[in-house]
Amino acid sequence: MINQERIVNAFLEYVQIDSPTRKEGNFAKFITKELEALGFKVHIDDAGEKVGSDTGNVIARLEGNKEVESILFSCHMDTVDPSEGIKPIIKDGVIYSDGTTILGGDDKAGIAAVIEALKVVKEKNIDHGPIEVVFSIIEEGGLHGAKNLDYTKIQAKKAFILDSGGEPGQIIVKGPAQDKIHAKIIGKPAHAGVAPEEGISAIEVASKAISMMKLLRIDEETTANIGSIEGGKATNIVCPEVIIQAEARSLNNEKLDQQTAHMLDCFEKAAKEYGAKAEVEAKRMYSAFEIHENDEIVNIVKKACGKLGMMSSLQSSGGGSDTNIFNANGLKAINLGIGEKKPHTLEEHLKIEDLVNSAKLVLEIIQTI
């Protein structure tokens, strides 16, 4: 029932509507009209005013004719740079950009799949329960749309997020928590050639701290990274100040607490050793989530995949998504694979087959409830 030509044309149209992070407004207006044409009541919340976008999250609801629970489908509208002036091309059943921008399948492939499934529901008069949709803003910029979503507008207790790079049938049931770490090392300037012993090199202190840290792959659940180091003005000045940006992630909240504490402690110990000062802070960006393999929401997707003859697989993710935030706000949410490949790069691409199968899966989930 999925119309391949229609969904491909819709996806091509979607990615050519610019929607970089914090500038999703034009696309939000376009997709709002599509949802309203399908009979949805649409609300734009005030998240954009809170976090600096030209629109809020698009929240929509369609009442059903079956007395079953409400379900929610969600994708994000924003795209990473460079994403303005996307020119999609098709070659051998695969959609690419022209190589000067990303493609925008992350996450407009998910949006195209949801909209196509809803069009089939309407034109085929398929019985369904209440369906809710959230198309969020600023996912790429820190999940801020989901963090500031007006959850009072949501009645569903189960959410299907379409935003994973695996093939349709992949079900992300575990996602990590993340801490962002900011450290400022304050040393003491001095002339590097005349009296270096009178100075305290913030670079040397930072180097000592980092050398003591466990970094990159910590264990099967935990990672950590130093992302950037900034400081220093000239080679003849002992560096007085360095700013370090870092992160830690784990599928286990307790392990993340331990790793973050370890990194902060390394900064403070090194500063004390050299007589410098360390100003350090950590911020929890989002919490980990885990959905049991036999949970009802997982079984719904497994059943839908089975009806389609599609293989299903349960996976964990090393990255955060709106799924983390939905789970933290009382919804049970899983992230579904939609086939996006090499996202955030100029080589991003998407198989038409995966786009079509994503829409088939959304449609089958609606009918399975």
What pLDDT score was predicted for residue 155? 98
Helix 296-308, helix 352-368: angle, nearest 10 = 120
pLDDT recorded at residue 95: 98
pLDDT tens by residue, the chain, 369 residues: 999 999 999 999 999 999 999 999 999 999 999 999 999 999 999 999 999 999 999 999 999 999 999 999 999 999 999 999 999 999 999 999 999 999 999 999 999 999 999 999 999 999 999 999 999 999 998 999 999 999 999 999 999 999 999 999 999 999 999 999 999 999 999 999 999 999 999 999 999 999 999 999 999 999 999 999 999 999 999 999 999 999 999 999 999 999 999 999 999 999 999 999 999 999 999 999 999 999 999 999 999 999 999 999 999 999 999 999 999 999 999 999 999 999 999 999 999 999 999 999 999 999 999
Exposed (0-12), middle (13-18) or buried (19+): which is 30, by Cβ within 10 Å?
middle
In contact, 169 and 246? CB cutoff 8 Å: no
Q: Give ranges for CATH 3.30.70.360 in the chain.
A: 177-286
Picking from 338, 340, 326, 357, the residue whose alpha carbon sits closest to that of residue 71 is 326
Residue pair 86/97 in contact (Cβ under 8 Å)? The answer is yes
* Ranges for all domains in the chain classified under CATH 3.40.630.10: 4-175+288-368
For residues 267 and 183, is the Cβ–Cβ distance under 8 A? yes
Active-site positions read: 78, 139
Architecture per CATH, domain 177-286, reads as: 2-Layer Sandwich (3.30)
Report how far residue 73's alpha carbon sits from residue 36's, in angstroms, rounded to the nearest whole number: 16
**Domain formed by 4-175+288-368, architecture:** 3-Layer(aba) Sandwich (3.40)
Q: What is the pLDDT of residue 141?
A: 84
Amino acid letter, residue 38: L
Q: State the pLDDT at residue 182.
A: 98
